[in-house]
Structures are given as structure tokens and as C-alpha cells.
Amino acid sequence: MSRFWMILIEAFPQILLQGIKVTLPLTAVSFFFALIISVIVAMIQYADIPVLKQICRFYIWLIRGTPLLVQLYVIFYGLPSVGIYLDAWPAAIFVLSFNEGAYMAETVRGALESIPVGQVEAGQCVGLSYLQIMWHIVLPQAFKVAFPSLSNSLIGLLKETSLATTITITEMIRQAQIINSKHYETLGLYCEVAIIYLAFCTILTWIQRAAEKRLNRVGGRTEND
Amino acid sequence: MIEVKGLRKSFGDNEVLKGVDLTIEKGDVVVILGPSGSGKTTILRCINFLEKASEGTMVFDGETFDLSSMNRKDIHRLRMKTAFVFQNYNLFANMTVLRNVEIGLTAARGMGKAEAEEIALRMLEKVGLSDKRDAYPSQLSGGQQQRVAIARALASSPEVIYFDEPTSALDPELIGEVLAVMRDLADEGMTMVVVTHEMNFARNISNKVLFLEDGNVIESAPTKQFFEAPSSERAKAFVRMITADRTVREDNKQKEI
Ligand SMILES: Nc1ncnc2c1ncn2[C@@H]1O[C@H](COP(=O)(O)OP(=O)(O)O)[C@@H](O)[C@H]1O
Ligand SMILES: [Mg+2]
């Protein structure tokens, strides 16, 4: 077998291992926090709570108007100069969660607003409290509306974790760089990274499809027509 | 039982209700008539606090409330005694028919699942939809959805049910089934306030009519008197117009058939 394939075959488990040890957990944890952030931020805007609402708008404006890479640099390399030291992992999780959370908040807000007000009023009329209306009526329907976009965010986030390499986290690209510095097989190694990303995303897409099918089976269709 | 006095409501500069009085006795079927935009929906929404009145008082079971400054607790307390049926049903799309009917009992009133289900099933039977208990709203016709909405309203044994044009969104052939259910309720002595353009229902089922124009009550009279000897020209003209319109529509339908 040629040297080229030898290197790629040897590199594959090492890169994949970083994918499993770093990329996937970083994605999962960040997405979990991003989801919580987005639901809270969206609900504050939906409920039109003064002051908090302005803070949420500011947060979304700030995050969406600046590059993720800059956010990572500011938090990881910038904050130490004012005495705040974060390790690479907490910094990455913090930045990725708040970054993706801002985009997802807009998705969730749109989904909440798409639920007919009439159902909220009907909920009030049968005596449900605001939180009960949110919990039993609005959120379940909004979740279904938001699901495809949220899945998109998850897939986007998976790929964005690659930027964590810039703050010293050895994820897949960093691992490929390390191997490359020994063997100089740039094209092959980075293509290998691409293929692993592709495989991860493909699996996520399958899961999304299956989940959407399930969601559409239970609960009938939402009434947005 | 309910006495509303001096109800006013403005949206910005637009005064939509200009001092409406309304008395509802137990067992009354009050019909609110009036041209589109006269403020009928707004009355119902104000007395069920979906809209905040600008002015007005309400006596409910002997307690007096200021409609323009209701606190949340009173609103909740009064809503527990009333029910609302909307023009476009507003069923909870993510719930089965059965859950739509029982959620006001389980979640809002803390009733046990078994008891709530029993009541809900009884109400569904009443509106003739027991077999649809596991269907979702989107699987039902408009008439069926409105009957579920009525079952939902009935489940909590309200003292009064407000109906806002319950048949206006329905295809003509589905109106009858909803009106039939409402007629049964009236026969059982349910207190109802009904905004409608169904003159037959108004004439035969209601005992009081409130005729509204441009936010003013033009006429408030017992049904018989309203239809046989309306005191205002406008009420007379309105009844004539609605009746004529209906006849024309029915004639057209006959022709189509
Ligand atoms: N939320 C609202 N904001 C502004 N204007 C409204 C609102 N709801 C109703 N109106 C106005 O109030 C008037 C009465 O409306 P409505 O009570 O719905 O009349 P009806 O039910 O008799 O047709 C209309 O002129 C309508 O445009
Ligand atoms: Mg109306």
C-alpha cells in the first residue's frame, strides 16, 4: 500500500477519537445551554417584560453583529488582562452557548409568535395561568415549529466547534495539524477531517428526519393555516 | 346575576363602546345584535377581561368590580365561573379532543384525571362527539370543532357562557348542528350571552335582545317586543336587512341545488 494511504489509515482513528472526545461533547453541551438560553430569551420577549426585553435585544444584537472567532478571542485571550481567567473548555462552552443561543432565540421567538393568539386566549378563558398556557399549549406547538431550524443550528454548531482549535482545544482539525506536521500529507488529512464532519452531520440529519416524522405523527398538524 | 354598567372602551382615539349597560339574569339567553364593527365582540371581550375596559362596573353574583382596574386574582376568580366560545373555535391544536375538554378541569382546577375524564366524556356525549375523543382538532370539521369548544366551555359548569358569533365561520350546512347544541343548552336553562346574526336563533331561543350600533345600545328589550314592535327605526331596518339577506342567500342556495 502506498505511503499516502498508510498515513491516512493511521491518522483516521486518532482524528475520529478527538471527534468523539472533543467535537461531539462540546457540541452537545453547548447546544444544551444554547437551548436553555434561547428559550428564556425568547419567552422574555414573547411576554414583553420591560427592561429584560431590552437586555435580550441588546444581547442578540451584540452576538449577531460580531464574529464567533472574535468572541472566542475576547473571552479566552482578552479577559485575563482584567483578571478573569477561564480554561479553554469553559471558555469554549460559554462562547458557543451564548453565540448559538442568540440565533436560536430568534428561531424560538418566531415559533412562539406563530402560535395563534386565540389559543392563548382560550387558555385564559378556561382558567389556565400564564405559565400553564405556555407549558401545555404554546411551547409544545412552538417546539414543533422550531424543530427544523433548531436542528439546523445544531448542525451549524457542530462545525463551529472547529474554531475551538484557536483557543488551544485539540479537536479534530488540531489533531490533523499535529499529524500533518510529522507527515506532510495536507490534502489527504484535511479531506479526512472533512469526511468525518460529513459523517457526523449526516447522522444528525437522519436523526432529525426520524424525529420530525415522529413529531408530525403525534399531535396532528399545527393550525397555522 | 351579572350587571354591567357604563362600559366604555377605546382603542387609541377610537371609542368603540360608548357606555353600554347590560343585565343578565340567571337562565337568560341574551342575544347581542348589530352591524359589523358596532362593538359586539368588544363587549364580550371586556366582560371576560380579554380586553381591558376604559370605564365601567360589573356586579357579578353580588360583588362589584371596576372593569377598568381588575386585579389578576379577581380576573382569575371570575373566569372560573364563566366560559367563552370563539368565532374560530380556538381549540388547542396539540391536544386531543378529550384533553381539550378536560384541561380546564385538571390543570386549572386541580381535579383528578379520572373524574375530569368522566366529566369531559359526558360533555362530549352531550355535543354528540364521544367517538371523536382521540381525534385532533385538525381532523375535525368546523362544526365539530365548535361543538368540542362548547363541550370545553361546559366542562367547568360555568354560570354563564359567552358566545361570539359561534356559527359565522362555518359552512352553511354545518351551522345547524351547532345551533342545535346551543338550543339544547338554552332548554336546560344555561345562562348565555350570544353574539349572532342567526335571526331564527335570536327570535326563537333568546329572551332578551341588545341592539348595538356604533358602540351605543340602541335598543334593549325582551325578544318578542324587539321583533314585533321595535321602538327604533334602526333596529327595524336592521332586522329587515338581515332577514332579507338571509332569504336571498337561501334562495341562491336553492337555485344552486
Ligand atoms: N384590538 C383592536 N385594536 C384596535 N381596534 C379594534 C380592536 N378590536 C376591535 N377594534 C375596533 O373596534 C370596533 C368594534 O369591533 P368589534 O367589537 O370587533 O365589532 P363587532 O364584533 O360588532 O363586529 C371596530 O371598529 C374595530 O375596528
Ligand atoms: Mg365580532
Bridging pattern class, strands B55-60 and B2-11? antiparallel
- CA B14 / ligand 1 centre spacing (Å): 9
Spell out the long-range contacts of A84-89 with Cβ–Cβ below 8 A and sequence spacing 24 or more: A88/A164, A88/A167, A88/A168, A88/A169, A89/A26, A89/A169
Nearest CA to ligand 1 atom 14: B39
Interatomic CA distance for residues A221 and A141, integer angstroms: 9
ipTM entry: 0.90
Pair B164, B44 in one domain: yes
Interatomic CA distance for residues A40 and A108, integer angstroms: 10
Pair B13, B60 in one domain: yes
Q: What is the dihedral of CA A35, B99, B74, A131, to 10 degrees?
A: -10
Contacts of A72 (CB under 8 A, 6+ apart): A91, A92, A95, A163, A164, A166, A167
Task: Output Rg (C-alpha) for chain A, integer angstroms.
Answer: 21
Quick one: cell of A219? Answer: 399531535
pLDDT digits (tens, 9 = 90+) for B50-74: 999 999 999 999 999 999 999 999 9
CA angle A212, A214, A218 (to 5 degrees): 120
Residue B7 located in a structural domain: yes
- Cα B243 to chain centroid distance, Å, stands at 21
Bridging pattern class, strands B63-66 and B82-85? unpaired
Domain range summary for chain A, segments of one domain joined by +:
3-224
Residues of B within 8 A of A127 (CB-CB) are 76, 79-80, 104, 108-109, 156
Residue B150 DSSP SS3: helix
Residue B206 located in a structural domain: yes
Residue B15 located in a structural domain: yes
Interatomic CA distance for residues B145 and B122, integer angstroms: 17
Q: Which chain B residue has its CA at the smallest distance from A139's CA? A: B94
Residue B140 located in a structural domain: yes
Quick one: cell of B117? Answer: 375524564
Residue B249 located in a structural domain: no
pLDDT digits (tens, 9 = 90+) for A19-74: 999 999 999 999 999 999 999 999 999 999 999 999 999 999 999 999 999 999 99
pLDDT of A224: 40
Interatomic CA distance for residues B38 and B213, integer angstroms: 5
Backbone angle region of B24, left / alpha / beta, with phi > 0 → left and psi within -120 to 50 → alpha: beta
Quick one: cell of A196? Answer: 468525518
Task: Spell out which residues line ligand 1, taking CB within 6 angstroms.
Answer: B 11, 14, 16, 34, 36-42
Pair B26, B72 in one domain: yes
Residue A47 DSSP SS3: coil
Residue A199 DSSP SS3: helix
Pair B68, B170 in one domain: yes
Instruction: Report residues of chain A scoring pLDDT below 70.
Output: 218-225
pLDDT band at B252 (very low <50, low <70, confident <90, very high): low
Residue A173 and residue A15 in contact, taking contact as beta carbons nearer than 8 Å? no
Which parts of chain B are beta strand (E)? 2-11, 14-24, 29-33, 55-60, 63-66, 82-85, 160-164, 192-195, 208-213, 216-222
pLDDT of B99: 96
With the most atoms of ligand 1 within 8 angstroms of its CB, the residue from B9, B41, B217 to mutate is: B41
Total domain count, chain B: 2
Q: Which chain B residue has its CA at the smallest distance from A223's CA? A: B93
pLDDT of A223: 42
pLDDT band at B243 (very low <50, low <70, confident <90, very high): confident
In what helix (H) or strand (E) does residue B35 lie, and over which residues does it extend?
none
Tell me the average pLDDT across B153-157. 94
Bridging pattern class, strands B2-11 and B14-24? antiparallel
**CATH number, residue B167:** 3.40.50.300
Q: Is the pLDDT of residue B128 over 90?
A: yes
Residue B248 located in a structural domain: no
DSSP state of B138: G
Listed residue (B45, B150, B61, B58) closest to B100, CA to CA? B150
Homologous superfamily (CATH) of A3-224 is: MetI-like (1.10.3720.10)
A119 touches chain B (CB under 8 A): yes
- Distances from the Cα of B156 to the Cαs of A174, A216, B6, B79, in angstroms? 63, 31, 29, 10
Range of the domain at B142: 91-158
Neighbouring CB atoms inside 10 A of B54's CB total: 16
Residue B252 located in a structural domain: no
Interatomic CA distance for residues B51 and B256, integer angstroms: 42
**Of A203 and B257, the one with more pLDDT:** A203
pLDDT digits (tens, 9 = 90+) for B158-217: 999 999 999 999 988 899 999 999 999 999 999 999 999 998 899 999 999 999 999 999
Residue B42 located in a structural domain: yes
Tell me the average pLDDT across B10-39. 94
pLDDT of A217: 75
pLDDT of B237: 84
pLDDT of A225: 37
